[in-house]
Structure 1
Amino acid sequence: MKRLAVLLCCLIIFAGLPLPAAANVTPISVLTAVEETLYGQAGTGALIERIERIEHDVFGGVQPGAAMIRIDRVNTFLQSTEAQGGSMKLHLNLAEWGFTGVLTDGKPLIERLEKLEQEWYGQPQTGSIADRTRDMMLNIWGTTELDLKKVTLPAETLVRISLLQSVNSGTTKVGDKVPYRVVDDVMVDGRMVIPAGTEAVATVTEVSSAGPLGRDGRIVIDFGRVASLDGTFVELRVDQRATEKNKSLELAAGASMAGVMLLGPVGLVGGYFIKGKDVGIQERQPFYVETLRAVQVSGFILRPAAK
């Protein structure tokens, strides 16, 4: 395996929020975001029918109040980091990671819950999602309240990851989705913020295959964002700190990393009639990215909260 020095270039990553952050946030747009969080796609039909379907699934029955209050209530319950006792997404994240060692935040909540129930009970359960998620927390942790407090994850915090499939400038295409996984726990003040096993998806934004005149291949990958345990999304890129760490790594075949541009050896390498080298990174090869900006998140010590 050849030791490579890599040139990394920062990409502009467009952060998303759990709900639309545009100036004109409407009840319909919030409802659609809730449906996508739960089911993976927006619902159809009359507004009131869509609200009632969500309430039946989440709470087990129709809830009181005006439409906007009801939409806000279910959104807060599902994913607000300020929800009393923690959001349902937080509890599902903790249950999933505690049982499987993997965190797949980003997939529909119902799909994740049913998969967890299938592995635990042998089949998906019935009843409200709220009750089923609470039951999984009790099964796995023995409590629904772990020791947590708000902490600040600093900008430029190193995050060690590995791709779950190989990329190569000779075969990878622009727009390809590349899943990756956090390799080491990310800690702040002794509290876990992003656990090892958390998965996210990067996107290939540029590819140049090797060519004549010694032109080497190049891949540019946007690492996007990864979820913390409480569901807060953290943007990742490769900048100066990650670049310095990656320079000392042994990377297969000349490499390209998410949020990163990896270049092969510079120069003609034998001149006119010699084709350059394609570059790539093998799956499971660890390397570093870093946080784009400081983010306030929940930090956990994996023990019951003090009463």
Structure 2
Amino acid sequence: MGLSMLSNGTGMRRVIATALAFWLVICTSTLPAVAADSVQSADPTDIGVVEKLVYGKTMTGTYLDRINRLERDLFGGEQSGTVPARTLNIQMKAFDSASQESLWMRLRAVEWRSGLPVNETYITERLAAIETYLLGEPQTGAIVTRVDRLVSLWFVGGKISTGDIVIPEGTVIELELAEQVSTETATPGQVVKLVVTKSVVIDGALVIPAGSTGEMLIKDASPAGHAFKKAKLEVELRRVKAFDGTMLPIVPEAQFVDDSDQAVTTQLAMGASILGMALLPPLGLAAGFLIKGNQIVLEKGLEIRAAVKADSVVRGMWIVPLGD
């Protein structure tokens, strides 16, 4: 269930402050932990999914032409074998979250280690951006070879140390809104982008890097109008992307707060938005929740504390000092 509120100027703020202790625990997500978007659960013969991950768009030509192009760009030449086997090989090399050889994961590791912002666009764009930062310009040659070179520049022996890590239920994730939300323009079903602002590290392993994206769903929205029509906004936290691309269902942090801790409970009630999620102190209601011309507005940059909904296993990267 999401959280639904109506605008009514100053009076509404008082209603939120008193009712939020109840509503904080209602905004929940029913999504299971799934692999990066729909990529890893896609039909093995859907080459278009792979093309979007590599090029940012689907390509033209026959199915075999498109496989040949991917193999030339990724490996430097066309491969042998049946079409299904070749397609599966491309998929696993590009985005298999269970493998430390995944191009998607290796690029993410290099981005994090080099201090670059996490980039969740397509592989060729990410690769060019990293090469420009490190080497001055995009390089040429097979994508796999170019990524291997970058990895060898940052990781001893060209090896990224990863392992399966359990992210416990209730693990806190700090996020912010990547865009403004207003009842004047919001529509039901709209997905709003969230960005992780602080890396999550568990037992020495990076499991959710800063810059990873998350999602918030607008379940219902209607603008204020004439004849005393009040604005309405109902939203729900959905999920956030882990280091390996796994999508983790998230809920408001308040769902895991001990009710006996009166200080924390009071802070949540006084420092929360209509999202049903606790704001980072010392922010209050006015910091991210505004009434503009009777419209409900959630400002870009609104800081949110969410939590992992259930125990989840992801592939994390062991963090060690450079040179070790």
Tell me the TM-score normalized by structure 2.
Answer: 0.73
Q: Does 1:290 align with 2:307?
A: yes
Structure-to-structure mapping, 1:12-51, within 5 angstroms: 12-13=30-31, 17-18=35-36, 19=39, 21=41, 25=43, 27-29=44-46, 31-51=47-67
Query: Do the aligned residues in 2 keep the contact of 1:114 with 1:124 (CA within 8 Å)?
Result: yes
Q: What stretches of structure 2 of length at least 5 have no aligned partner? A: 1-9, 258-264, 278-284, 286-291
The answer to whether the Cα contact below 8 Å between 2:237 and 2:251 also exists between their aligned partners in 1 is yes
- Quote the offset at 1:123 in angstroms: 2.4
1:199 paired to 2:213: yes
The equivalent of 2:153 in structure 1 is 139
In the other structure, the counterpart of 2:119 is: 104
Match of residue 282 from structure 2: none
Are the aligned partners of 1:200 and 1:225 in contact in 2 as well (CA < 8 Å)? yes
Segments of 5+ residues of structure 1 without an aligned counterpart are: 259-263, 265-274
1:145 and 1:305 in contact (8 A); partners too: no
Aligned 8 A contact 1:217 1:276 in 2: no
Residues of 1 paired with 2:159 and 2:304: CA distance? 34
Question: What is the deviation of 1:170?
Answer: 3.6
Alignment partner, residue 27 of structure 2: 9
- Hey, what does 1:116 align to over in structure 2? 130
Q: State the SS of the aligned residue for 2:319.
A: strand
Please identify, of 86-95 and 147-156, the stretch whose mean Cα deviation from structure 2 is larger.
147-156
In the alignment, structure 1 residue 77 sits paired with structure 2 residue 93: yes
Deviation readout 1:263-298 (Å, 9 max, x if unpaired): x9xxxxxxxxxx995433222221122223332112
In the alignment, the residues of structure 2 paired with residue 301 and residue 129 of structure 1 have an alpha-carbon distance, to the nearest angstrom, of 25
Partner of residue 86 from structure 1, selected from 101, 104, 119 = 101
State the alpha-carbon separation in 1 of the partners of residues 267 and 83 from structure 2.
51
- Aligned residue pairs total 284
Identity, in percent, stands at 24
Give the C-alpha shift of residue 62 in structure 1: 0.9
Q: Is this contact kept in 1: 2:171–2:308, CA < 8 A? A: yes
CA distance in 1, matches of 2:216, 2:146: 31
Q: Tell me the distance in 2 between the aligned counterparts of 1:218 and 1:148.
A: 45
Q: TM-score, normalised by structure 1?
A: 0.76
Root-mean-square deviation over aligned CA pairs? 3.6
SS at match of 1:156: coil
Q: Distance in 2 between matches of 1:226 and 1:95?
A: 20
Q: Deviations over 1:10-49 (max 9, x none)?
A: 2444765454647xx4x422x2322222122333322211
Which structure has the highest helix share of the two? 2
